[in-house]
Structure 1
Amino acid sequence: MRSRRRSRAAVVEREVVIETLGDQGDGLARVDGRRLVVPGALPGERHRVRFETSGGTTGANRVVAKSLEQRASPARIEPLCPHVPACGGCVTQHLAADAELAWKQERVRLALERRGLTAPVHVGHQSPLQSRRRLRLGVQRRGAELWLGYRGRQSHRVVDVAHCPIARPELIALLPALRRALQAWACRPEELVLTAYAAGPEVVLRGGDGLTLADREAVSAFAKTADLARVAWQPTADVPAELVVERRQPELSWPGLSVVPPVGAFLQATAEAEAYLQATLAGWLEGSGRVLDLFAGIGTLTAAAMSTGARTLAVERDALAVAALRAAGVEAVARDLDRRPFMLPDLARFDAAVLDPPRAGAEVQSRMLAAAHVPLVVYVSCAPTSFARDAQLLVDGGYRLCEVRMVDQFRFAAEVELIGLFDREKAP
């Protein structure tokens, strides 16, 4: 039997013109029919690149290039942060704000177009700098040093962060003290999740071998010194966090509703984007008597629905979030909507349905809604691709996609938030 030999990689150097930005913010060009990814490049720029590609007739479909020189685009600006490009937290700090908005808007439009859908896609909101209120940071030890910051792009390596133009200043101000504390504690968390509340910061230590009694005492002392609201430890992201110390109870307050969020609760990335989504939803729901809020989380959109006077049922898989909503006086039920979606008889009771699912979308529940006769559906998403898939299901079932608004709360990142309105009564 003949052994297969791998074809040797050939180093090629070419001058290319960047055609567009990919979904991850990289410049895309084509060489000999293959897609070429040029990190940091912008449309219209000419780059001389050197890259590796396999020999033979079946080379790789995607090769990664290193730019050797460039002719800058008018949309290119100087990055705000000294950690660019090593830090993976941002991918478009070199792109002017209006061009970044246009890129994200076009990604939403193209996602719909691929599903045969057309609808107005408006830029609704762009969050200001220094507004990100929840950060997930990696922790790495390198000899005697401890590095705390975002991970490098497509890497597990942590970039030690001293500045961050997108994060709330009170969270970045914590980092020096956190580094010193982590070096002293026996616990070895692999990740920290920081959340800014009005009551003070929350810190969740994630991973590692757990906390000793000495660690717990040290953490409690640190919480007092750093004036933290609370600190918790979480073995992994998919299990509930264990509260270590709570000095003040965080509270989320909206007109007519105040909720005490469980430790590590999901929040919209910025308070400004949250307020925009709530105001948009409230305007669209005006006049709806009974509203079903699916994937309700801790009640961000529930509050908006209730503010219109609608009787609202919140449905959420997380039992701790449901308990928090009930404690706040919200009608809420715990239910895994991927396994047990609301069926036709249940849906018939509602005038409007609101969905804010995880990144994977709500395919199972969307199929049920498509077969129902709920007059109005509002869908919030952070993933244009899964949104477009579910939108196609609704449109095929008789809904009209009336409008989509893009919400840029993930400044300089590839993520896109959006909110879409579907109306069955006006569908042709």
Structure 2
Amino acid sequence: MNQRPQQPQHRGEPQRAPQRSSAGPQQGGPRPGNFQVNIDQRDLMTGPIEQPRGRRQPDLYSEPPSMKKAQLTDKELRAEKRAHKKRNRVKARKNKRIFKIMWLCMVLLISFTFASYLIGGSNDFLGAGRPEGKADVTIPEGELTEDQLAEILHQAGIISKPEFFSLYCKIKKNIDSFSPGTRLQVDTNMDYEAIITALKGGNESREIVTVAFPEGSTVLQMANLLEENEVCTAQEFLTEVNSGDYSEYKEIAALGSDTGNKYYKLEGYLFPDTYDFYKGEDLEDVIGKFLWNFHQKLSGRLQEKVDASGMTLDQVVTLASIIQAEAAGTTDMFNVSAVLHNRLNFGGDYGIYNLECDSTSFYPYKNQQEMDQMGGTLSHGAYDTYQVSGLPAGAICNPGLDALNAALKPNDSGDAARYLYFCHSAEGEAFYATNADDHEYNKQLAGLE
């Protein structure tokens, strides 16, 4: 077989692939390694394809095939953005509303819990809610703190709120007078002061009496009730009310040493309630029960209202005492409060410069009849609101919680915001007026003229 002579190959020169015929493969020859594409010359001359106007078509090579929708026009994009912002605003308002509701629920829960805690402490202080019975308690040897004593009494079932009892002992500062190592039997329904007296060993031969003081009681009436129940004499009580030092209570300390024209220094601060006393009990302990109870009632939300009222505590107590003495009932208190506040705030615009409340005319007595019965005389014009402008020198009685709340939040809705006059019938029906003419007519309706 003839062989072609091989071409000499130079070093460094790549070996050339054998040339193939362009006419295609021969019969039975190997499959070609390339192919030919026929393109019409006119196709190569065609310009760019025009895009349809309006909507832009997606680029199949640059944009992912997973796109949910084609790109929008500028107008549609702006509309989409506005709709998105609107959805976000609606969602934000909904979330804000939910947050407010949750916050309100949290505040109410905390307030309810705190109020329940204070009420429980006040009841424990008075011995209310504890079952009747006796419990044995031993005062241990050695130094004893208030917290330790409170826990001992709590374990014995004598008190239910050891933290309140501990605070009371710290205020009284008389724990050092207890006799260590003494074993005593104590009534489980006694108030804190009676418990302390029992722990001093001074209750063996003294009888306990329960005395109820109605809301609006005056210092003079309280003194007479205490004397009737043989707790102390009325004169001893009245003297202690003015001369005793009770500055350990912040409410009394705020009065200062100069009480001005006050007839009884502690009038208004001896909270009316039901108390247990020993016959012949120490006067400081007797008055301490009233002041401690007032301190407890004022704690928390009520104190916050006083701070926000723009009035001093003494002004609030004085105003509340007049409301207590004048009103025919709890609902009436808020309307009477409206009249008094309106007279104080803008009465001068109508030529009204005095509160003109009958209840202040006979202080320290309740009325003319009480003054005559006790053989008293009027000698303290600083309390008569027909003579003095603004508030009197001090409280005219000891108000309850409703009157204190009414003094801090008068009725300011509807006509009540303009009330300047009020009067009551003999049956206690209340009449209110915004001007003098209507007031004169109301007095006729009430049977006062």
Superposition TM-score tier, normalisation by shorter sequence: under 0.3
Q: TM-score, normalized by length of structure 2?
A: 0.26
Whichever structure has more strand as a proportion of its residues is 1
- Greater share of residues in helix: 2
